[in-house]
Amino acid sequence: MNTPDRLHALDAARGFALLLGIVLHATMSFFMFVPAQDVSQSTTLAVTFYVIHLFRMSLFYLIAGFFAHLVFHRHGLRTFVRDRAKRILVPMTAGWVILAPPTIAAVAWGLSRSFPDGPPEGTAAVASQGFPLIHLWFLYYLCLFYVLALGLRAGFVTFIDRSGALRTRIDAVVGAGLVSYLSPFILAAPTFTILYLDLAWPVWFGIPTPDAGFMPKLPALVAFGTAFALGWVLHRQAALPGLLERQWLANLVFAVGLTVVCLAIVGPVPNLTTATVIEGGAMMRLVYTACYTLAIWYWIFGLIGAALRFCADENALRRYLADASYWLYLAHTPIVFGLQVLLMSVPLHWTVKFPLIVAITLAVLLVSYHYLVRPTFAGEILNGRKYPRRRPLVDSRASGRQDGSRRSLATHGPGALPGADCLRVDAALAPVALLTDVTKRYGKTTALDGVSLAVQPGELLALLGPNGAGKTTAIGLWLGTIEPDDGLASVMGGSPLDVNSRLGVGVMLQEVNLAPELHAREHIELTASYYRNPLTVEETIALTGIESFASKRYGKLSTGQKRQVQFATAVCGRPHLLFLDEPTVGLDVEARKTMWQNIRRLLNEGCSIVLTTHYLEEVEALADRVAVIAKGRLIAEGSVAEMRSLVTRKQISCTCAIEIDDIKGWSDVIEVTREDDFVHITAFNAEGVVRRLLAADQTLSHLEVRQASLADVFTELTREVA
């Protein structure tokens, strides 16, 4: 599963958690007195609130922790802090100034209408116990978790685990723990302890919402902090999201069962007069607390697994809603609460009023998002970039200029790393490598002629072309070994000649000579010393699978082993951008399989990769996008599927009694061969040829029609410009 797969799914889950918050708040007036007590009360909506509140914020914080680790390790401390300040602190402070007054006013209005003579006897008073953070408390706690994570990590790395060996063992323990269905028991233990021992815990409402006061509330700090910490560690586990995907259904079954048990114990609606009491005494309280905290984690694992199973592909609507969800959740409370107060006395059933409140709220906020937020500075803060009100026909960032010399297939959405968290930082990033109208000449030979090409964050771009097409020149421009005669080359947002830009780059060239007298381990150690935050030598060796010859001199290694060492030196610096030039040449089957796995792992961690190879099956297996260069011009670009669609011819195979010389004379047939009993036909109009085959031979069998392979596409495209 590559990076876009995983991040599209997590982005969908994160947006789902935020949108559920709107639904949750819209239920409140139908079974509570805050913000108003509606005349049509509903047990169904009370249960809806209970279930959503059970898992929603823990799910959000786990995903936030995952992306926090990704962004921190990808961009470093300074960028991380600057970005979080822009996209967390600014919305939190500005949002409070704008949203708190109408939200608080709506609640006060609703309470005054519900209880004109004051709250009834026995009802818990609604009084602030500190500064009213309103629903923006989730951003405040996110800031706390960022500070704690960075502080704890700095101390851990500096004083406890300088070598990284302990982190590797922790990763192994986490990986082994999550393999079991019993892992929720371990994760639930801290929250269980806090809640069970808290005699003031309002049991029906689960983890108390910490929306008042700046002093962190222990239940929220422990419960949500555990989720954030697991997300932080989970990003280091490339295989674990796939495990959650396989177990999604079982986890959801456990979650539903535990939730039913909880509701059976405390009832479908809250008892506000005895909110901290559970009938049945201490034993029943213990059972309820255990079931509740376990249900949290089974819901989280089940929903993330379901997202990975069903939402891994890019979907324009899901992407739009995920982008919009941050704004929708930030701005919804004044509208939802105001509508609840306005409709509280209207004699309509809750099945009419509840969906009406949700629909009006979403309609107003989606329109405001599309026209007032998305294309403005507010969208740049929330989504990471401003989107134009009208999308251009061609994405100029990815495609550069358009003319008759190039077939542009891909119109990528902004930012190849979807789903960053509520900040969506990756959408804001420029391409990690960019050529803009670049021309490069060697004497009278034009190696590149006005080429524009971008490498987007988190993608694998396969750069193909015949020998002498200009691929090596393009990579040389990005690496800063040569300079363009015209146009602009940039890497990591700066000049390839700038050392700071190159610190995020890893390189594995086809022809390279490393010092033969140094051990493989010494080569890794030397290369890692140039980077700010490299993997340890042992981590690199384990990652690339070279343990058996890491202590041998480089000059004594086989060709395949040397390539593996070269790959290790290319990835040891945790590159944000990696150039791989024929990386699997000389490797045996097992070593090639290991390298493919490592390439996918790097993509999972957000690394962008430029791959040049003559093994086109490698491109079909790994590439997100393909660019074909011939005679110095970019002649085609797109996904593997889009590239295949350029070639209209198809391959037909079958067993039949028709003579191949007869088939050769048919229209639309390009080539016919016979292999044993099988006839292989290459044709433009495959459907027409198939119909004619079936009409000519009633005994025809084993019919197979397949689209052109990437090799066919490459051959035809390069033949056209030859």
Q: SS3 for 78-135, per residue?
A: HHHHHHHHHHHHHHHHHHHHHHHHHHHHHHHHHHHHHCCCCCCCCCCCCCCCCCECHH
Q: Tell me, what's the pLDDT at 138?
A: 96
pLDDT higher than threshold 80 for residue 385: no
- Give the three-state DSSP class for 578: strand
Q: Tell me, what's the pLDDT at 483?
A: 87
Of 5, 2, 605, 10, the closest CA to residue 300 belongs to 10
**What sign does the dihedral 640-604-144-51 (CA atoms) show?**
positive
Domains 425-643 and 647-720 share a fold: no
Architecture in CATH of 425-643: 3-Layer(aba) Sandwich (3.40)
Q: Can you spell out the DSSP letters for 446-495?
A: EEEEEEEEEE-TT-EEEEE--TTSSHHHHHHHHHTSS--SEEEEEETTB-
Model pTM score:
0.60
Q: Which of 5-9, 258-262, 275-279 has the lowest mean pLDDT?
A: 5-9
Question: Exposure of 661 by Cβ count < 10 A (0-12 exposed, 13-18 middle, 19+ buried)?
Answer: exposed
Q: Note the maximum CA span of the chain.
A: 98
Q: Per-residue pLDDT averaged across 147-170, rounded?
A: 81
Of 193 and 73, which is predicted with more confidence?
193
Question: Exposure of 301 by Cβ count < 10 A (0-12 exposed, 13-18 middle, 19+ buried)?
Answer: buried
Domain at 647-720: CATH code? 3.30.70.980
Of 225, 231, 207, 228, the closest CA to residue 292 belongs to 207
pLDDT higher than threshold 70 for residue 495: yes
- Give the three-state DSSP class for 649: coil
Q: Tell me, what's the pLDDT at 380?
A: 85
User: In this structure, which amino acid lies at residue 344?
Assistant: M
Q: Tell me, what's the pLDDT at 406?
A: 37
Q: What percent of the chain has pLDDT over 90?
A: 48
How many Cα atoms within 13 Å fall on the side-chain side of residue 272? 13
Q: CA-to-CA distance for 654 and 701, rounded, in angstroms?
A: 6
Which tens digits make up the pLDDT trace of 588-640?
888 888 889 889 989 888 899 999 988 888 888 898 888 888 888 888 888 87
Average pLDDT across the chain, whole number = 85
Of 677, 631, 686, the closest CA to residue 657 belongs to 677
Q: Per-residue pLDDT averaged across 158-181, rounded?
A: 73
Which tens digits make up the pLDDT trace of 516-552?
889 999 999 988 888 888 899 999 999 898 999 999 9
Q: Which of 14-23, 175-184, 566-575 has the lowest mean pLDDT?
A: 175-184
pLDDT band of 154, cuts 50, 70, 90: confident
Q: Which of 32-41, 135-144, 154-163, 589-598 has the lowest mean pLDDT?
A: 154-163
Q: Which of 48-57, 187-196, 339-348, 479-488 has the lowest mean pLDDT?
A: 479-488
pLDDT higher than threshold 60 for residue 128: no
Q: Tell me, what's the pLDDT at 4?
A: 42
How is residue 506 written in tokens? 């890893």
Q: Which residues pair with 672 in a beta bridge?
A: 681
Task: Using alpha carbons only, give the angle 377, 379, 385 rounded to the nearest 5 degrees.
Answer: 90
Q: Per-residue pLDDT averaged across 129-158, rounded?
A: 91
How is residue 452 written in tokens? 């524009």
Which tens digits make up the pLDDT trace of 317-360?
998 999 999 999 999 999 999 999 999 999 999 999 999 999 99
pLDDT higher than threshold 80 for residue 76: no
pLDDT band of 716, cuts 50, 70, 90: low
Q: Tell me, what's the pLDDT at 591?
A: 87
Q: Tell me, what's the pLDDT at 395?
A: 35
Q: Per-residue pLDDT averaged across 8-34, rounded?
A: 94
pLDDT band of 123, cuts 50, 70, 90: very low
Q: H/E element holding 21?
A: helix 3-27
Q: Tell me, what's the pLDDT at 136?
A: 96
Q: Tell me, what's the pLDDT at 121?
A: 53
Q: Tell me, what's the pLDDT at 164?
A: 66
Q: CA-to-CA distance for 693 and 701, rounded, in angstroms?
A: 10
Strand pairing category for 678-683 and 650-655: antiparallel
- Can you give the residue ranges of every domain in the chain? 3-25+41-117+129-313, 425-643, 647-720
Of 41 and 153, which is predicted with more confidence?
41
Which tens digits make up the pLDDT trace of 431-488?
899 998 899 988 888 899 989 999 988 899 999 888 888 888 999 999 988 888 888 8
Q: Per-residue pLDDT averaged across 647-670, rounded?
A: 86
Q: Per-residue pLDDT averaged across 377-382, rounded?
A: 89
Q: CA-to-CA distance for 546 and 523, rounded, in angstroms?
A: 13
Q: Tell me, what's the pLDDT at 391?
A: 40
Q: CA-to-CA distance for 676 and 673, rounded, in angstroms?
A: 10
Q: CA-to-CA distance for 74 and 72, rounded, in angstroms?
A: 5
Q: Which of 10-14, 258-262, 294-298, 462-466 has the lowest mean pLDDT?
A: 462-466
Tallying the residues shown for the chain, one arrives at 722
Do 329 and 365 touch, CB atoms closer than 8 A?
no
Q: Tell me, what's the pLDDT at 469?
A: 81
pLDDT higher than threshold 70 for residue 404: no
Q: Tell me, what's the pLDDT at 571?
A: 93
Which tens digits make up the pLDDT trace of 343-352?
999 999 999 9
Which tens digits make up the pLDDT trace of 231-252?
988 876 655 666 788 889 999 9
How is residue 718 written in tokens? 């390069």
Q: Tell me, what's the pLDDT at 51?
A: 98
pLDDT higher than threshold 50 for residue 120: yes
Q: Tell me, what's the pLDDT at 409?
A: 37
